[in-house]
Structure 1
Amino acid sequence: MKTALATIFAGLLASTPLAAQSVEDFPAQAMTYIIPFNAGGESDISARFQQSEWENVTGHQVVIQYQPGAGGAQAWSQLNSLPGDGYTIMGINLPHTILQPMAGSVGYATDDLTPVHYFHYTPDAIFVRADSQFTTLQQLIDHAKANPGLVTFAGSGSNSSNQLANVRFNAQADVVTTYVPFSGTGPSITAVLGGSTMAGFNYVTSAVSQGDALRMLAVSAEERLPAFPDVPTFKELGYDIVGGAYRGVAVPASTSEDVRQRISDIISKINAQPAFVEKMESAGFALTDIGYDEMDEFVAERIKEYTDGARALGIIQ
């Protein structure tokens, strides 16, 4: 895998334009967009939605490549070895890029990465089977209080946004539940559907793919989502739980400030395209528009939030 990855990265280096381009003319050719996961996940889906609008906004296409490995860490650890001319960008995810370095050596530190825009998040949500005894969040909470530790939640992995949401839910609802990590969204939803767990903390996008097989009890968005107008937010039910897996775009550290801002502006323009908005909202994504000029403050806030979560999870003391 490392040899194949090195070969692809060498190819990117070889294909980089040697002639300097003015920022006003950027991009002057097609760009490469690396997704550090396998095809088919939320990162890929949202990037494909962006891809369909890329040429309308920039006049040039973007080519998507996949470099999976170590939960994204394999690609992120090599991001800064790429040329900083702006023609190669990489998908970046939170809380992955904060929690991974906290948990151990992954080949990069959070500060090594240069995100330039976060354009959406997939809100965490509590799911049960459609035939579950629980039709409201309060019913689930009441059962959890009466049966400490017996309510089980499937989630997409350890040290994930799903697990952080479960920790916050336990604290705010004053309950003890058991989080069961699985190797991704698909297996965790299968566990809920098959009755292996009583409920699931997963991403809202799962409700789109599963349709009527699941019931969503609450969603961690600021407001009710257009795709699920009947599902209440945690906030309106009295719990301050907002967030999920944030996704954005990063560049090598050697990229100039002007080019960083230009790429951020491109993503922001794509975010405003009506067709893109419709696709994202219909799929259950919550759009954000966190540009490069807001990045330091946004990342600092997430580091504080996830550090508190990491202590609760025992990742750090």
Structure 2
Amino acid sequence: MATSIFFSRRRIAALSLLALAGVGWAQPALPPGPITMIVGWPAGGPSDNVARLIATHMAEALGQSIVIDNKGGAGGNIGTDATARARADGSTIMLATVASHGLNSALYDKLNHDPIKDFAPIGMITTSPSVMLVPMGSPYRSVRELIEAARAQPGKLNYGSGGVGSSQHLAGANFKKLAGVDVAHIPYKGTAPAMTDLMAGRVDFVLTTGAMSFIRSGKLRPLAVASRERLPALPDVPTFDEAGVKGFYTDSWYGLVAPAGTPRSALEKLNAALAAALNKPAVRQQFIDQGSLPVTPMKVDEFWAFVQKQMPLAAEQVRISGAKAE
């Protein structure tokens, strides 16, 4: 009888341990409540538009709300710094870009974060080539006309950007070099105010993504796209190759990252929600309509391999352009 009681007690203890372990296994991959998506650019710009579109559909897949937190400034570095310091439990994610995880490492002498060590990958969203835009009242109806005017009066024409170190800044610097023109750079605190001044005619041109609404509404005129092929959304707009500026290509990619140390289970769940959103035909079409190129969803490790591979390429673009954060 004593032996039987002993084994019964031991069995109960073992079952209790298994039950406690089961509680741990059953814990959700993501903490309950809303998820914060940090965007290192002001509301209304192309990065913000991408973030809001994907957040809406990821939230549906997750069954949790995703709140956009715009932290603009310093070429996206303010938002990137905030993400690196955030709680690493899946409750905070960030819209990563070619600036935050590529250009800024070469543009800035010192960063308060490491773009690889301080972050964990979630996945790729989309990629977009830049479009050269001028006001509707601009006298320039082609890239050739703009270049001719810039060469006739060096330093008079200008271009706007979302800030020092932004993808628009780098695109403008590369255009200057490849076209052999002297145009002034006017940095703004985000793309949205730069676009406002462009439409008002206070800026001669901007090279940016996500401006299809301005084009369709007749507020801005596209002159060329920085891609190897014409965009489906702008079939009548030539590439820069066709316009006479050979080899001018930009690749403004967007993805999602989390603070380093975020559990793998959380990253995988967020990646699955992102893939579910990207696989929706309506979402793919919306990206096409925005002037983006939809991508095949990437796994967590596949996306991180892409980020690490493109970083030295982005740094080389910065070196060739001669751009440097002021």
TM over 0.5: yes
Which deviations, in whole Å up to 9, do the C-alpha atoms of 1:33-91 show, x marking residues without a partner?
Answer: 32234443333322332233225534x12321415254443443243444444343222
Following TM superposition, by how much is the alpha carbon of 1:252 offset from its aligned partner in structure 2, in angstroms? 2.1
1:142 aligned to 2:151? no
Q: Percent identity?
A: 24
Which of 211, 223, 227 is the matching residue for 1:206? 211
Following TM superposition, by how much is the alpha carbon of 1:269 offset from its aligned partner in structure 2, in angstroms? 2.6
Q: Judging changes above 3 Å, is the alpha-carbon distance between structure 1 residues 264 and 235 closer, same or farther for their aligned structure 2 residues?
A: farther
Aligned partner of residue 212 in structure 1, secondary structure = coil
Q: Judging changes above 3 Å, is the alpha-carbon distance between structure 1 residues 270 and 242 closer, same or farther for their aligned structure 2 residues?
A: farther
CA contact (8 A) 2:101 2:311 kept: no
1:126 aligned to 2:132? yes
CA contact (8 A) 1:50 1:270 kept: yes
Structure 1: runs of 5+ lacking an equivalent = 1-18
CA contact (8 A) 1:127 1:200 kept: yes
- Map 1:200-239; keep pairs closer than 5 Å: 200-209=205-214, 211-237=217-243, 239=246
CA contact (8 A) 2:83 2:92 kept: no
Q: Which amino acid aligns with 2:36?
A: Y
Q: Which amino acid aligns with 1:61?
A: Q
CA distance in 2, matches of 1:123, 1:244: 5
Q: Which amino acid aligns with 1:32?
A: I
Q: Which amino acid aligns with 1:273?
A: K
Residue in structure 2 matched with residue 43 of structure 1 by the alignment: 47
CA distance in 1, matches of 2:230, 2:25: 44
CA distance in 2, matches of 1:195, 1:89: 37
Q: Judging changes above 3 Å, is the alpha-carbon distance between structure 1 residues 268 and 221 closer, same or farther for their aligned structure 2 residues?
A: farther
Which deviations, in whole Å up to 9, do the C-alpha atoms of 1:268-308 show, x marking residues without a partner?
Answer: 23112112122222233333346233334422343223323
1:240 aligned to 2:247? yes
1:294 aligned to 2:299? no
Aligned partner of residue 141 in structure 2, secondary structure = coil
1:66 aligned to 2:74? no
1:186 aligned to 2:192? yes
Q: Judging changes above 3 Å, is the alpha-carbon distance between structure 1 residues 114 and 220 closer, same or farther for their aligned structure 2 residues?
A: farther
CA distance in 1, matches of 2:194, 2:31: 43
Q: Judging changes above 3 Å, is the alpha-carbon distance between structure 1 residues 100 and 129 closer, same or farther for their aligned structure 2 residues?
A: same
Structure 2: runs of 5+ lacking an equivalent = 1-22
Q: Which amino acid aligns with 1:36?
A: V
Q: Which has the larger radius of gyration?
A: 2
Residue in structure 1 matched with residue 280 of structure 2 by the alignment: 273
CA distance in 1, matches of 2:132, 2:87: 42
Q: Which amino acid aligns with 1:109?
A: D
Q: Judging changes above 3 Å, is the alpha-carbon distance between structure 1 residues 20 and 235 closer, same or farther for their aligned structure 2 residues?
A: farther
Q: TM-score, normalised by structure 2?
A: 0.76
Residue in structure 1 matched with residue 61 of structure 2 by the alignment: 57
Q: Judging changes above 3 Å, is the alpha-carbon distance between structure 1 residues 174 and 250 closer, same or farther for their aligned structure 2 residues?
A: same
Q: Judging changes above 3 Å, is the alpha-carbon distance between structure 1 residues 20 and 178 closer, same or farther for their aligned structure 2 residues?
A: farther
Q: After alignment, is 287-296 or 265-274 more displaced?
A: 287-296
Q: Judging changes above 3 Å, is the alpha-carbon distance between structure 1 residues 170 and 303 closer, same or farther for their aligned structure 2 residues?
A: same
Residue in structure 1 matched with residue 20 of structure 2 by the alignment: none
CA distance in 1, matches of 2:179, 2:109: 31
CA contact (8 A) 2:45 2:190 kept: no
CA distance in 1, matches of 2:88, 2:122: 13
Residue in structure 1 matched with residue 37 of structure 2 by the alignment: 34
Following TM superposition, by how much is the alpha carbon of 1:26 offset from its aligned partner in structure 2, in angstroms? 4.9
Q: How many residues align?
A: 295
Following TM superposition, by how much is the alpha carbon of 1:133 offset from its aligned partner in structure 2, in angstroms? 2.4
CA distance in 2, matches of 1:175, 1:46: 32
CA distance in 2, matches of 1:233, 1:127: 13
Aligned partner of residue 138 in structure 2, secondary structure = coil
Aligned partner of residue 137 in structure 2, secondary structure = coil
Q: TM-score, normalised by structure 1?
A: 0.78
